[in-house]
Structure 1
């Protein structure tokens, strides 16, 4: 029966020292840490190692649950995996101890609020993008060119300039799609509105 600590920060310029000190003070014999975003469990090798290694009677110790998971779904998956192995979860800075009924209830409430905060942040971001688009400031990502549509319009006899205007893309893109692998110099191009 042992305590295994897990510490995480989101970016490489953030410092793990406070978390590591708190986990040592909590009596963790083993502490794993990583610098990686925590929105999902995927890609977090150190956390995966802890979850694979932890066994019956062990306790996973974190400073706060947001160091462990940012979504309620991921948090519940981790807690279920710990429970299936006979292990528990404790947070040093929050009244969380999944070996007690009160600790489990508090964990569920914190998980709901953490996910709510993430969703609010996403909504604010989308509102900001919509406002920027309305003001003409935000143009979005690169336009994806529908190659099939370019070829279809060319097949109907439409010229490169007309295709480019209709699809809102550059004429050079039309030429590239209609002549894959061939570099077309300015001198080699057909007159602008002559169908291909």
Structure 2
């Protein structure tokens, strides 16, 4: 109906850095060696309601040359709980700094299923961690974003169309097709998500 992104319609695209300082034995070269990698992030709200209303918060990360065959790697985070079960349950927040976010759906890596997590430490700064097979969270490093100031629009903005900064209508994340190298999307999850992402991409091309 929206003829663009079905959810997370309005967002803010910013550059940033992924810092790995506690390599984690995940099976992905991106996450299993210490270092820094540039990235592009998009901060958004799922329903794109007015900013004074709570919404499901999204943070999408694209890391160049970290995915399959040397292409980009995409990780999508949403505001959720962090317990063994609640990490799979969406939560409503006012901003990307109001609470933790997880990838919610697992990726297959070394030793089993991996779910990744971001914990806000301040505007544009997040602790980055992972959990294997629903076990304890283990720190991997941090994500630092060059967010605009303020991070989100002032309360006088009435509509979700008032983004906190520049967006990029052509930027489309592909978490099913482009996980970090060394990690794979479970077959059941690929089957469930691919049709919806395919439809959204087709609608976007037709609109363009």
Scaled to the shorter chain, the TM-score interval is under 0.3
**TM-score, structure 2 as length reference:** 0.24
**More strand per residue: 1 or 2?**
2
Between structure 1 and structure 2, the one with the greater Rg is 1
**More helix per residue: 1 or 2?**
1
**TM-score, structure 1 as length reference:** 0.26
